[in-house]
Structure 1
Amino acid sequence: MESRPEPPFAGPAHADLDLTNACNLQCSHCDVSSGIPLTEELDRTGIFSIIGQLYNLGVLSLTVAGGEPFLRPDAVDILERACSYPGWRVSVITNGTLLSGRLVWDLLHRCPGLSVTVSLDGSMPASFDIIRHSGRRTTAAQRSLFSLVTSGIARGAEAGLEMHAAFALTCVNQADLMPTYNLAI
């Protein structure tokens, strides 16, 4: 493991690292137009190298995202490597659809100190779906997606992961801000 340069603020204070463009949702506000993986995404070795370089530059915190980062089979390995650097704050942003019991266990036991942020853009299936799927799905599919995400959040919190909720505020869901806040709490 390399050591940090002196002074500790030799580089940027924070960095974002998108692991993949792959995503299993179609969010109306997506700023990276995620969907299918890019043809030349970095392999694990390349990402490990970048993580080490960022740490050695003096970066204090790293946020890992995507697309949906957990669509990469090696996402936990990557997060484990990032969390192994001493004194570094690591977080991951996910849509929450893949937060199974096994994934939560792996994150809790292999990625000490990891912070998990889940996008929660509505307090009810229909309001959530407007942002996450542009409201084009059946009521049953809306309920299923909402349950999947909220169950994943609860599973992580109950296991002891540091969980956060992110709310993409738009004119479509602004009236649902406080009910979503109350749900997240």
Structure 2
Amino acid sequence: MKDDYGRPLTSLRISITQKCDLNCFYCHREGCERENREMNVSEISKLVEVAADFGTKKIKITGGEPLIRDDIVDIVDEISQLPVEDISITTNGVTLSEKVDALAEAGLDRVNISLDTLNPETYESITGKDSLEKVLKGIDFAIEAGLHPVKLNTLILDGINDGEEIDGLINYSLDKGAILQLIELEKVLPENEKIYKKYHKDLDSIEEKIRKKASDVETRWLMQARRKYLVDGGEVEVVNPMHNSEFCKYCTRLRMTAGGYLKPCLMRNDNLVDVLTPVRNKDEEKIREAYETAIKLREPYFH
């Protein structure tokens, strides 16, 4: 099914918890509502099943930190039984080494791991925890488990990791055979305004340096027109959603908050659609209506 702007819905990003074992100062918690309710395994499975009926092929599980849920392996296992083609998890990687083998066996295809720095002191200043070694161990275990390609997500923060850190992260990702994604800081909620103003970094200058090193560049049109640079046999991807009409024009993703609300747009939190209530009421018609409403509400944030 396509929205009114001709964009198919091929991807669903599901937040399965608002809880996290880190305390990153920039976190906007996916723009989540503050309602204290959380979906169980069967509810998540039902929501993915209906999403698949609407043409969704890719499922990304996120949080908060999804791996802190004791039933995360069961969630992946349930989704893997449904007609979807790709299941991935975005994680901070702190407990990944302990769970990655079970997740891979349950049907996980890929993993995205947050890695803003390779400097332990900088890592602790960003996350509030001394957990970098655990994250690096998790990356190694994910590679060994065959979750290919492993993607490393680096959020660029002005004055913190926007200098020589980037070269180090590129070299690290190339050495590991991982894909590095350099991500622009977003302004999702009003309470993030101060963080955005202080730490937002336009990625143009960084991207230009990478372009000069690259042997080729590709554009992922089906993934928000992201540019992928081929560098020394590896890949560096640039994700810059802010004020980017191309990012919006080619967006094929619908989001689900941890409280069971469909979120038509990353940048908005004022048009959420409750789909968990009809799931709990076992009202098939209302479930489908919720998806149809959310798709109807989708429009490019940056025109």
Q: TM-score range by the shorter chain?
A: 0.7 to 0.9
Deviates more, 1:60-69 or 1:86-95: 86-95
Q: Which has the larger radius of gyration?
A: 2
Cα contact 2:41–2:78 (8 A) shared by 1: no
Deviation at 1:130, TM superposition (A): 2.8
Cα contact 1:22–1:38 (8 A) shared by 2: no
**Do residues 184 (structure 1) and 178 (structure 2) align?**
no
Alignment of 1:23-42 (within 5 A): 23-32=20-29, 39-42=36-39
Cα contact 2:17–2:66 (8 A) shared by 1: yes
Cα contact 1:17–1:63 (8 A) shared by 2: yes
Q: Structure 2 unaligned runs (5+)?
A: 175-303
Q: Kindly indicate which of the two structures has a greater share of residues assigned to strand.
A: 2
Q: Structure 1 unaligned runs (5+)?
A: 134-140
Deviations 1:26-81 (A, max 9, x none): 012212189xx963111112111111111111112111100010111111111122
Judged with a 3 Å threshold, the aligned counterparts in structure 2 of structure 1 residues 81 and 151 are, in CA distance, closer, same or farther, namely same
Residue 155 (structure 2) aligns with: 168
Q: For residues 77 and 46 of structure 2, what CA distance do their matches in structure 1 show?
A: 14
Residue 14 (structure 2) aligns with: 17
Residue 117 (structure 1) aligns with: 112
Q: For residues 161 and 168 of structure 1, what CA distance do their matches in structure 2 show?
A: 22
Matched position secondary structure for 2:118: coil
Judged with a 3 Å threshold, the aligned counterparts in structure 2 of structure 1 residues 87 and 49 are, in CA distance, closer, same or farther, namely closer
Moved over 4 A (4+): none
Cα contact 2:59–2:84 (8 A) shared by 1: no
**Do residues 152 (structure 1) and 148 (structure 2) align?**
no
RMSD: 2.4
Deviation at 1:84, TM superposition (A): 2.7
Amino acid at match of 1:60: K
Residue 82 (structure 1) aligns with: 79
Q: For residues 65 and 10 of structure 2, what CA distance do their matches in structure 1 show?
A: 24
Deviation at 1:127, TM superposition (A): 2.3
Q: For residues 92 and 56 of structure 1, what CA distance do their matches in structure 2 show?
A: 21
Q: For residues 7 and 166 of structure 2, what CA distance do their matches in structure 1 show?
A: 39
Deviation at 1:87, TM superposition (A): 4.8
TM superposition score normalised by structure 2: 0.50
Deviation at 1:128, TM superposition (A): 2.2
Matched position secondary structure for 1:174: coil
Judged with a 3 Å threshold, the aligned counterparts in structure 2 of structure 1 residues 14 and 81 are, in CA distance, closer, same or farther, namely same
Deviation at 1:100, TM superposition (A): 2.8
Matched position secondary structure for 2:44: helix
Cα contact 1:10–1:57 (8 A) shared by 2: no
TM superposition score normalised by structure 1: 0.80
Residue 125 (structure 2) aligns with: 130
Matched position secondary structure for 1:85: coil
Alignment of 1:47-126 (within 5 A): 47-101=44-98, 103-112=99-108, 114-126=109-121
Matched position secondary structure for 1:70: helix
Residue 280 (structure 2) aligns with: none
Judged with a 3 Å threshold, the aligned counterparts in structure 2 of structure 1 residues 86 and 50 are, in CA distance, closer, same or farther, namely closer
Deviates more, 1:40-49 or 1:145-154: 40-49
